Structure 1
Amino acid sequence: MTPQDDHPLRYGLVNELHARPSPRLSAPATVVYTAFKETDRASTRDRRRDDEHLSSLAARYGAPRPDPEANHYAGPLGRHKLRWERHTEFVTYTAYTPGLPPRAFDPSAGAIFPEEWQAAAPGKRIAAVIIQILPLPEDTDEAREVMEKWFVTDGLAAAWVLEEAALVAGDFRIDAAGWMRFAIFVRPGEGEGRVGRIVQRILELETYRAMSMMGLPRARALSSRLNALDPQLSAIVEGMADDSRPADDVLQELLAVSARLEAEATQSHFRFGATKAYEAIVMDRVAVLRESRWQGRQTLTEFMTRRYEPAMRTVISTEARLKTMLERTDRAAELLRTRADVQRSAQNQALLESMDRRAALQLRLQHTVEGLSVVAISYYALGLLSYALAPVASAAGMDKAVLLALLTPLAILLVWGGLRRIRAGLEKPPGEDGH
């Protein structure tokens, strides 16, 4: 077998499995991460702008120029290691640096991504994270004291991960410099690959959390619009039993509401679908960390259950409400169409009955006219016969009046028969006369 015998997509699909390997990290280390998303139609954005933005950062540090056709890039930026990835709606930049800044979560650590460069990004920043990786103290109470200094204890989530290989802590808040903070305390001897996977899961967790919650503002705005449409729809449905209103008029009002609901569904379909997909990734990333409780603190799973899942339920319930209202309009429209059809059938029946009455009247009128026609034609026929037979009656010695009296029944009978034959010929279906 030769490569030409393989499917043209085989190698590309296999390489995709290895395109984004987890970084290899050891304590102490600092990770600076940011993600950018265009505010509108991000899934159909111009990808060349992503490439240009990445190239400008690489050029700033003299790093190798990225491949414009690739969806991922890795290279050195001074003493940092950069990883860049392009996703459907966003791009991510991650810088790994050995060691820790002079002060915990010092904003200067984020200087690897200059502010003016971030301001020129094609889109806006949706995630910005600093992760500090530290050795786990022998006395874990020391880790607790450090956490209380670094994080807001009210929202602090801290848990063992991967069978107590490391202790992860974060409060999911944005500090004054615009960064979200996480700390990972690693047990001595843990492999660099395992530490890198923990970091990768934390970054993905925050990114997909942010992306999934993009559906929440849309759901809230949509909910307010549905609140306005719901009474209109209810009034239309309740008024369907009012026979004084034509069904066609009610149907037009219902179709106007239905058109607005369909427009809302079209505009929200992608965002709500993406929200559900991102939510599934978030919950998967939490699950693969395999948490266990540490000193009674809430775990990441508990934090998500209390703070994150209500937002997702809002999106799901709003989408379900929109779907229910669309189904209601479809059912109501079907009932109104049936009602309109019944009304049209009744109107058609009344029209047919009216036409039958007119046809019967025309038939009676026709018979009347036909009778009058027989009398009139017979009268004129006898008048003509009186002139034609006058010499015959005189030669035969017969009174002219007696002759006309004898011919009158015969004339009337002949005229009546002739008219009957003419009418029968006109009423005969085409083709029955042999033509």
Structure 2
Amino acid sequence: MGEGARRFADHPLRTAALHEVHARPFHMIAAPRLVLHYAFMTDAGEADAARARLAELCRRNGLAIPASDARHHVVPLLGGFLRWESHAEFTTYSWDAPRGAGPLPAETPFGEAFEPPGPLMVQARLDLVDDLRPPAEILAGFDPGSLAASQAAGGRALIATDFRSDGDGFTRLLIVDRGLGPQEAGPLAQRLLETETYRVLAMLGLPEAQRLQPEVRRIEEQLVADTARFRSAGGFASNRALLDDLTALAADLEAGAAESAFRFGASRAYAEIVSLRLNAMDEHPLEGYSSFTAFLARRMAPAMRTCATLENRQQDLSRKLARAAALLRARVDVELSQQNRALLDSMNKRARLQLRLQQTVEGLSVAAVSYYVVGLVGHLAEGAPLLGLHVEPTTIEALAVVPVALAVWFLVRRIRRHHSDGAGEE
């Protein structure tokens, strides 16, 4: 663009997105070449520590230092290249150099003073050679029982491995140059090492599946038993206990699923990467030998299916437990509603009995109060002669019974109505 091009504010992730396409670039190599490759399982802290140690190594040897947030770094070293890469859960070190190169610094993974950032997972040695001998002679040093050999790069290379560790602990990989150019040999070597790395990491899901299988089987069997109990269960207490059992089973299942979710997802992703790398190598079968694709499909596919099957069983079992718990919870709610209704009916009966008792007490209280009031009237009548009245007290008492009883009854009723209205307002 011209000098007058406008400059806009960059998105915070723009630089990272632009540079990601250039991450982990291939570099050109030519036969004869030796590549040593390590992969260590690391968490975020261990990966940061590995980056710091690599920076110190580069500083002491006058090499470019990785950035504080770098996830890959390549430096020239002793006629070859030292490559460091940090991934989500592992860190890799690779060193390639012409055969016969001198010893690497002791602080590298290939020296005695190296401090591994985590447990070792992959250790591979790749040899890129020129060899015009027949394949049978070239491959004689591999285990024929697990040998995989193919043509790659349109027939311009022969690749082979037996996926076994040698006496030094390395898995041996071989590339025979049959017309490769340096721009093809580098990518092919890197893809072959990535295939070895990711096929090992993909297999980590199998032990996790094998560990969880007995627990999933136990939950399945317990669900069958609880379902049978659910069909014949009666009463609130038994249904409530059954609901507690189902809830405990669901908690156990979800705990196992949460623990294994990352591992199964990672294994699935790694297996897909292996497939992509094999396709990128343009592999073709070599007569008389199993190809990489066929060998790994025969070994990896059952393991990946085991992981996928267990993951599906977990998901299916989770849905079944949720449905069973929902049905049982509905039954418990219905039974609880019935109990509440019976309790309300009992409370209503007690309220009616209490009302009757109250009315009876009120009637007796009217009679008792009237009796005492009439008695007071009779005592007053005894004092009538003092006022010049000659009336029999008994006559006055008899005449006062009905008016007094009515007055007391009216007063008691008014007091009860007043309390009833006050309770209603509250």
Common topology (TM > 0.5): yes
Q: CA deviation at 1:85?
A: 1.2
Does the C-alpha gap of structure 1 residues 2 and 172 become closer, same or farther in structure 2, counting only changes over 3 Å?
farther
CA distance in structure 2 between the aligned counterparts of 1:5 and 1:365, rounded to whole angstroms: 87
Partner of 2:21: 17
Partner of 1:417: 410
Uncovered stretches (5+) of structure 1, i.e. residues with no partner: 102-107
Does the C-alpha gap of structure 1 residues 63 and 301 become closer, same or farther in structure 2, counting only changes over 3 Å?
farther
Partner of 1:176: 167
Contact 2:28 2:186 in 1 (8 A): yes
State which of 145, 156, 159 in structure 2 corresponds to 1:165: 156
Partner of 2:318: 326
What's the RMSD between the two structures over aligned residues?
A: 3.0
Partner of 1:104: none
Contact 2:199 2:271 in 1 (8 A): yes
CA distance in structure 2 between the aligned counterparts of 1:235 and 1:187, rounded to whole angstroms: 65
Does the C-alpha gap of structure 1 residues 309 and 84 become closer, same or farther in structure 2, counting only changes over 3 Å?
same
Partner of 1:368: 360
Q: CA deviation at 1:372?
A: 0.8
After superposition, give the CA deviation of every residue in 1:121-173 in whole Å (9 maximum; x if it has no partner): 11122112222223463xxx7023312x1222222222222333322222222
CA distance in structure 1 between the aligned counterparts of 2:112 and 2:223, rounded to whole angstroms: 51
CA distance in structure 2 between the aligned counterparts of 1:373 and 1:351, rounded to whole angstroms: 32
Contact 1:48 1:68 in 2 (8 A): no
User: Quick one: which amino acid aligns to residue 286 of structure 1?
Assistant: L
After superposition, give the CA deviation of every residue in 1:222-272 in whole Å (9 maximum; x if it has no partner): 223333444444433433342265333333333333333333223222222
CA distance in structure 1 between the aligned counterparts of 2:399 and 2:14, rounded to whole angstroms: 113
User: Quick one: which amino acid aligns to residue 96 of structure 1?
Assistant: D
After superposition, give the CA deviation of every residue in 1:187-208 in whole Å (9 maximum; x if it has no partner): 32x3322221111111111111
After superposition, give the CA deviation of every residue in 1:377-402 in whole Å (9 maximum; x if it has no partner): 11111111122234559966654433
User: Quick one: which amino acid aligns to residue 268 of structure 1?
Assistant: S
What SS class does the counterpart of residue 409 from structure 1 fall into? helix
Partner of 2:33: 29
Q: CA deviation at 1:19?
A: 2.7
Partner of 2:196: 206
State which of 333, 347, 368 in structure 2 corresponds to 1:355: 347
**Aligned residues between the structures:** 416
Q: Quick check: 1:284 aligned with 2:276?
A: yes
Uncovered stretches (5+) of structure 2, i.e. residues with no partner: none
CA distance in structure 1 between the aligned counterparts of 2:346 and 2:423, rounded to whole angstroms: 27
Partner of 1:378: 370
User: Quick one: which amino acid aligns to residue 122 of structure 1?
Assistant: P
TM-score by length of 1: 0.85
What SS class does the counterpart of residue 20 from structure 1 fall into? coil
Contact 1:63 1:76 in 2 (8 A): no
User: Quick one: which amino acid aligns to residue 420 of structure 2?
Assistant: E
CA distance in structure 2 between the aligned counterparts of 1:59 and 1:419, rounded to whole angstroms: 104
After superposition, give the CA deviation of every residue in 1:344-365 in whole Å (9 maximum; x if it has no partner): 2222222211111111111111
Contact 1:136 1:166 in 2 (8 A): no
After superposition, give the CA deviation of every residue in 1:53-88 in whole Å (9 maximum; x if it has no partner): 43566578x351532512222222213222211112
What SS class does the counterpart of residue 116 from structure 1 fall into? coil
User: Quick one: which amino acid aligns to residue 35 of structure 1?
Assistant: A
Contact 2:46 2:117 in 1 (8 A): no
Q: Quick check: 1:193 aligned with 2:183?
A: yes
CA distance in structure 2 between the aligned counterparts of 1:316 and 1:420, rounded to whole angstroms: 80
CA distance in structure 1 between the aligned counterparts of 2:56 and 2:408, rounded to whole angstroms: 110
Q: Quick check: 1:131 aligned with 2:126?
A: yes
Does the C-alpha gap of structure 1 residues 310 and 51 become closer, same or farther in structure 2, counting only changes over 3 Å?
same
What SS class does the counterpart of residue 246 from structure 1 fall into? helix
Contact 1:58 1:77 in 2 (8 A): no
CA distance in structure 1 between the aligned counterparts of 2:157 and 2:272, rounded to whole angstroms: 24
What SS class does the counterpart of residue 95 from structure 1 fall into? strand
CA distance in structure 2 between the aligned counterparts of 1:335 and 1:74, rounded to whole angstroms: 61
State which of 152, 156, 160 in structure 1 corresponds to 2:147: 156
Q: Quick check: 1:66 aligned with 2:65?
A: yes
